[in-house]
Amino acid sequence: MRTVNKKVCLLGDFAVGKTSLVRRFVYDLFDEKYISTIGVKVSRKTLAVPMEDGVIVELTMMLWDLAGSEDFSQMRGSYMRGASGAILVCDLTRPETLLNLNGYLADLQRISPGALVIVVANKNDSPEQQLRLCQVEEGAARLGAPCYVTSARTGENVEEMFRYLSRALAESSTGIAQ
Amino acid sequence: MSTENPVIRSENDSGRETQKRPVGVSVNGPNTFQPGSLARRTGSEHGANHRATSPGAEPQETDAALSTLQQILFGTDRDRIQVLVEDVDSLRHRIDDKEAFALAIAPVLGDAIRRQIHESRNEVIDALYPIIGQLVVRAVTEAMRDLARSIDERIQAATNFQRISWRLRSQITGVPIGELALRSGMYFSVEEIYLIHRESGLLLWHATANQNERSADSDLVGAMLTAIREFAEQVLGGGGEDLHHIRFGNRELIMEFARHSYVGVLLNGVVPEKFRWQLHQRIFAFEDRVRPYLQNYSGEALPLSEAASREFRSFLSIGAEFTQ
């Protein structure tokens, strides 16, 4: 078994559900005060990822949940350094949050060019959705990233999305092409 | 209003006129009436009076009427007096019980002192100065005596080589030999060491002095430390400066940086001067060993642990070395 640690950033506008996604996926000890004080909350999740060659990679994802508010826009760049992956989160009830992902991706590619990216359209449980699936898919394709439609409230696709990312990260660390 | 006592005139059994005072009114006037003596006095007087005025009435009825009158006239006062007696008893009991008394007055006393300090600070200082001043002088004198004793003991216990070393350092630096001896005796210990990838904040290696104490969140600590460092750099820095230490009470976290990694050492006590320099040297020595691996770090920390351990583990017992 190999042990690998990766830094993953969660990016997206304020209140799109980044923290809820992490909370749904991880049960951790650190509380919310980190977000309000320095603009980031770090959580950890370890998964065993079986590879095609039979080797099991124990992948620890250090999930950096970056505050989406404007107050921390300057800090965000610093926190993106050294990221191996990023989850770009938008809100299905607010179309502008999908458009704003362009900015986050541009920053990420400038600071951590090799980072794997995944687009997540959250709040699929909401009756007030204003984005259609095809719009999300088109947006994600424009960003060159796979996309998942999730609901942090119901847990829909959350585990699947993180498992996909962990597998991609594990493969990238062994040099297997995506 | 007349100052004379009102008088009821009647005749006794022998037909002789007698003077009767109303119930509850003493010869000295109503204000000097003693309730305790009421029953005795009114009983005898009333008996004579009753026989004189109402020869056919039953004595029991008269007593009941008198009792009712007593109740009407003095009932409220009697109840109040009873409450007062109980209060006085309770107070007497609390005063006699020193602990209960202290407990009762403590909050009031505290408030009173606070108020007095707030309103008349200078007067309070003037009043307390003779006492406090003496206490401070005594404490400082005692501390100085302990200090002198400690220095003397260290010098006496030192080997010849150490004494020569201190003497030389004293001559070179101008620091008195006693101060050098004292400095060498100050408490210092390394509790934990975090070796962290500078860019990502991923933990490369971690060691703790207390092997029994499991530090499960060391990778979270490493990441948060990196976040705090980045935050400080953004907010306070600007000139490429790094956050080099965080102090909390007697504990301090010292950080030294190389190109791709940095080391954070959590320690307790007074940090010796040369410790920081040693840490600086070790982090660069570590990077020299593993530079190619760190340049393209993929998140696998295991291959680094041997090099990290070689450079940093000895710091966990280095406190003793510094206190020699």
Report domain extents, chain A: 2-174
CB B203 within 8 A of CB A5: yes
pLDDT of residue A163: 94
Checking if the pLDDT of A11 tops 80, the result is yes
Residue B197: closest CA among chain A residues belongs to which residue? A82
Checking if the pLDDT of B230 tops 60, the result is yes
- Greater model confidence, A61 or A36: A61
How many angstroms separate the CA of residue B197 from the nearest CA in chain A?
9
pLDDT of residue B319: 58
Q: Testing the interface with B: which of A62, A166, A174 to mutate, by most B Cβ within 10 A?
A: A62
- Greater model confidence, A151 or B105: A151
Opening angle at CA A101, ends A29 and A36, nearest 5: 35
How many angstroms separate the CA of residue A83 from the nearest CA in chain B?
6
**What is the rounded distance in angstroms from the CA atom of residue B112 to the CA atom of residue B128?**
15
* Contact residues, chain A, for B217 at CB < 8 Å: 29
Checking if the pLDDT of A30 tops 60, the result is no
Residue A8: closest CA among chain B residues belongs to which residue? B200
**Identity of the residue in A4, A38, A79 whose CB atom sits nearest the CB atom of B299:** A4
CATH T-level assignment (fold) for domain A2-174: Rossmann fold (3.40.50)
How many angstroms separate the CA of residue B199 from the nearest CA in chain A?
5
A62 touches chain B (CB under 8 A): yes
Instruction: Tell me the pLDDT of chain B averaged across its residues.
Output: 77
CB B245 within 8 A of CB B253: yes
pLDDT of residue B239: 62
Alpha helices in chain B (DSSP H): 38-53, 59-96, 98-119, 121-157, 160-173, 177-184, 218-235, 273-295, 302-312, 318-323
- Greater model confidence, B170 or A161: A161
pLDDT of residue B171: 84
Checking if the pLDDT of B33 tops 80, the result is no
A26 touches chain B (CB under 8 A): no
B219 touches chain A (CB under 8 A): yes
| Distant-in-sequence, close-in-space partners of A51: CB < 8 Å, separation ≥ 6 | A57, A170, A171, A174, A176
* Contact residues, chain B, for A45 at CB < 8 Å: none
Residue-wise pLDDT for B278-303, tens only, equals 999 999 999 999 999 998 898 999 89
Per the CB < 8 Å rule, is A40 touching B227?
yes
Q: Give, in order, the Cα–Cα distances in Å from B228 to each of A31, A34, A80, B113, B223.
A: 16, 10, 14, 44, 9
pLDDT of residue B227: 92
**Identity of the residue in A38, A43, A173 whose CB atom sits nearest the CB atom of B299:** A173
Cα-Cα-Cα-Cα torsion B96, B97, B99, B103, nearest 10 degrees, comes to -80
Q: What is the interface pTM, i.e. ipTM, of the complex?
A: 0.87
Residue B261: closest CA among chain A residues belongs to which residue? A82
Checking if the pLDDT of B44 tops 80, the result is no
Residue keyed to tokens 């609390």 = B94
Opening angle at CA B273, ends B272 and B277, nearest 5: 115
State mean pLDDT over A119-130.
94
* Contact residues, chain A, for B301 at CB < 8 Å: 3, 5
DSSP, collapsed to helix, strand or coil, labels residue A48 as: strand
B124 touches chain A (CB under 8 A): no
Q: How many CB atoms lie within 10 A of CB B63?
A: 15
B61-70, B162-171, B204-213, B313-322: least confidently modelled range: B313-322
Highest mean pLDDT of the ranges A141-150, B7-16, B47-56, B263-272: A141-150
**What is the rounded distance in angstroms from the CA atom of residue A9 to the CA atom of residue A21?**
12
**Identity of the residue in A38, A44, A60 whose CB atom sits nearest the CB atom of B227:** A38
Highest mean pLDDT of the ranges A45-59, B61-75, B95-109: A45-59
**Torsion B18-B19-B21-B26 (CA) sign:** negative
Residue keyed to tokens 């501390």 = B143
Checking if the pLDDT of B43 tops 50, the result is no
Per DSSP, what are the bridge partners of residue A5? Answer: A60
pLDDT of residue B216: 63
Residue-wise pLDDT for B124-176, tens only, equals 888 888 888 888 888 888 888 887 787 777 777 777 777 788 788 888 888 78
Whether the predicted model's global pTM rises above the 0.80 cut: no
Q: Testing the interface with B: which of A1, A5, A22, A31 to mutate, by most B Cβ within 10 A?
A: A5
